[in-house]
Amino acid sequence: PRIIVGDGEPVAIEGAEGATTPRLSSDGTKLAFVRGGELFAMPATGGEAQQLTSGAEDGFTNGLADFIAQEEFGQSDGFWWSPDGSRIAFVEVDARHIPDYPIVHQGQDALDTEHHRYPFAGAPNARVRLGVVAAAGGEPVWMDLGDEDDIYLPRVVWRPDGMLAGVVLNRAQTELHLHLFDPETGAVTRTLVERGEPWLNLGDFRFLETGELLWSSERTGFRHLELYDRDLNESRRLTSGEWVVTRIVEVDEERRTVFFSGTREGAVERHLYRVGLDGGEVERLTSEPGVHGCAVSPDGATFVDTFSSREHAAVTTLRRTDGGNVLATLFEEPEMTATGQGLRAPELRVMAAADGTPMFGAVYRPEGEGPHPLVVSVYGGPHAQRVLDDWALTVDLRAQYLAQAGFAVLAVDNRGSANRGLAFEAHLHRRMGTVEVDDQVAAVEQLVAEGLADPERVGIYGWSYGGYMTCLCLMRAPEVFHVGVSGAPVVDWDGYDTGYTERYMSTPQDNAEGYREGAVTTHVEGLAGKLLLVHGMVDENVHFRHTARLITALTAAQKPYDIQIFPEERHMPRDAAGLEYMERRLLSYFEEHLLG
């Protein structure tokens, strides 16, 4: 690949061939990139690239984020330019001690094998160091990350004054240290410590030009904003209540105002709000019920609002922050409404979890009076929310297709799902695969009780965590669920990665009973209905090994099953032929076993 830059006609940069993750310095004069596992820098106009690091080999890299940082913490970068462009902070990742996990392409004419260093729950993680090197070259300075080397480094950012900040998270993900480092010496100058039970979820933060820190925390049980002084000693709470700040959108430092999105109007909506950095009332800036995705101008005077609901597709407008007046409509398709597209918008429901906790659901009704065969569309895992008052819920075309074929369709965010506060999510602590199933059963029983669903004709489908839930619902509640399509299921949590699994379940060594009870293979004797397994054989996220282990257990228990393999697909089919084939297979499976 070539790197192409330019503020006018793009120009290919000579000397950067084979580069990945290119990043320009803030003044645009220098370019840094990774090649062959090493960090390089060069003039942005081209020329000779200077290698800044050394020692790279198989399993050992400089300037690339480690697998868990990318996969579970959303940290795709592995190096960061200083504000003045004189230095680059970078991560050194040593994964040489993590066993190689081969993935064989068995659907190709030629033999091809991928090699992944995958850290399984309870097994060693990669070791990381944080260094700073001059853009002109020289020996790196290593930041003091503490004595414990079994850590995560999920966030690195430069403060505007040239201090370097890094978030160090312990492996149990219950204690977080935000360190300020002197990049000249690597010494820690200030530390903000946050502890949380049963775990800490990472949130947004931002350093201001004043050196103050805008921080988001769940220490009250709901994610809210706080402002720390430049020494990280004193803090002021800016928002509060039983709702969640979902994202810091923009900070207008001149007017001392922060703009953010949140759920104050309800968990199924998203709105734009603002509040003063020195305190005051929270002001809502968007009015229409639904989901608003916003971007605010740097001066805080205007914002772009992309808004949708279950009734109509996204409309994008330019608005004033003061008064909300529409300055321009940037995008709108008036015919893109539920009725205009011949679709029935799903009904939003407040349903009762197995313990009576309110949870949100969406119901897609077919034509005619009930009771109808019911298909549950499930995810059910943490760190995710499916039921929102937005257009995406209406144009879930699989659900619409099933409804038009005569099925009622239900989606519900059970206990353990996101954006309802930490206590709601923490119901599955050390016991994944339990309360989520109970809540899906409770939701189905409510639709049966009101006459919408036929209790003898209930199916379920889902992917990834939803595939896991599909299997467990069929096995732990066979009297409720009769047919299931399980895509790329996690089958045993000891076969998934450290960062995700241990956050919720601890390690297999510490929580053997939780892992045993949460394993699909533990419950195969309960399978009485029809099960279709779907999995791509080169899935590098949830390995095909999970489905293979389940097949072994089903065979040992003499339980029948059906299977659809995609030899050259990953976590789900991506090409048009594979997608169409999968959708046809799913629909026909439910038609055969619930309508036939």
- Considering the domain architecture, whether residues 461 and 431 belong to the same structural domain is answered as yes
Is the residue at 540 inside a domain? yes
pLDDT, tens only, 13-47: 777 778 889 999 999 999 999 999 999 999 988 88
51: pLDDT strictly greater than 90 = yes
The CATH number of residue 297's host domain is 2.120.10.30
pLDDT, tens only, 103-143: 999 888 888 999 999 999 999 999 999 999 999 999 999 99
Q: Say which of 116, 177, 383, 571 is annotated catalytic.
A: 571
- Considering the domain architecture, whether residues 141 and 255 belong to the same structural domain is answered as no
- Considering the domain architecture, whether residues 318 and 421 belong to the same structural domain is answered as no
Residue 449 belongs to what H/E stretch? Answer: helix 435-449
- Considering the domain architecture, whether residues 567 and 500 belong to the same structural domain is answered as yes
- Considering the domain architecture, whether residues 372 and 474 belong to the same structural domain is answered as yes
Is the residue at 214 inside a domain? no
pLDDT, tens only, 487-503: 999 999 999 999 999 99
Concerning whether 149 is annotated as a catalytic residue, the answer is no
Residue 306 belongs to what H/E stretch? Answer: strand 302-308
Write down the pLDDT at residue 47.
86
- DSSP secondary structure letters along 475-516: HH-TTT--EEEEES----GGGSBHHHHHHHH--TTT-HHHHH
**CA–CA distance from 325 to each of 247, 282, 293, 301 (Å)?**
23, 19, 17, 11
pLDDT, tens only, 218-240: 999 999 999 999 999 999 999 99
2: pLDDT strictly greater than 60 = no
> Mean pLDDT of all residues in the chain?
95
Write down the pLDDT at residue 5.
62
6: pLDDT strictly greater than 70 = no
Is the residue at 62 inside a domain? yes
**pLDDT band (50, 70, 90) for residue 433:** very high
- Considering the domain architecture, whether residues 336 and 358 belong to the same structural domain is answered as no
- Proportion of the chain above pLDDT 90, given as a percent: 92
Concerning whether 571 is annotated as a catalytic residue, the answer is yes
Query: Residue 186 in contact with residue 144, Cβ under 8 Å?
Result: yes
- DSSP secondary structure letters along 331-385: E--TT-BTTTTT-PPPEEEEEE-TTS-EEEEEEE--SSSS-EEEEEE----TT--
**pLDDT band (50, 70, 90) for residue 434:** very high
Q: Say which of 25, 216, 308, 464 is annotated catalytic.
A: 464
Range of the domain at 268: 231-309+311-341
Is the residue at 202 inside a domain? no
Q: Say which of 305, 413, 439, 539 is annotated catalytic.
A: 539
- Considering the domain architecture, whether residues 332 and 406 belong to the same structural domain is answered as no
- Considering the domain architecture, whether residues 438 and 371 belong to the same structural domain is answered as yes
pLDDT, tens only, 59-100: 999 999 999 999 999 999 999 999 999 999 999 999 999 999
58: pLDDT strictly greater than 90 = yes
**CA pair distance 444, 43, nearest whole angstrom:** 62
The CATH number of residue 36's host domain is 2.140.10.30
**Number of domains observed in the structure of the chain:** 3
**pLDDT band (50, 70, 90) for residue 7:** low
Concerning whether 82 is annotated as a catalytic residue, the answer is no
Query: Residue 484 in contact with residue 470, Cβ under 8 Å?
Result: yes
Write down the pLDDT at residue 310.
97
- Considering the domain architecture, whether residues 20 and 86 belong to the same structural domain is answered as yes
The CATH number of residue 483's host domain is 3.40.50.1820
- Considering the domain architecture, whether residues 335 and 363 belong to the same structural domain is answered as no
| pTM reported for the whole predicted model | 0.94
- Considering the domain architecture, whether residues 335 and 351 belong to the same structural domain is answered as no
Q: Which residues pair with 65 in a beta bridge?
A: none
- Six-digit token pair at 59? 């399993």
DSSP annotation of 226 reads: E
Write down the pLDDT at residue 17.
77
**CA pair distance 83, 91, nearest whole angstrom:** 18
Write down the pLDDT at residue 108.
87
- Considering the domain architecture, whether residues 243 and 358 belong to the same structural domain is answered as no
Is the residue at 210 inside a domain? no
Mean pLDDT to the nearest integer, 312-341: 94
Write down the pLDDT at residue 3.
60
**CA pair distance 449, 291, nearest whole angstrom:** 31
For the ranges 19-28, 161-170, 447-456, the lowest mean pLDDT is seen at: 19-28
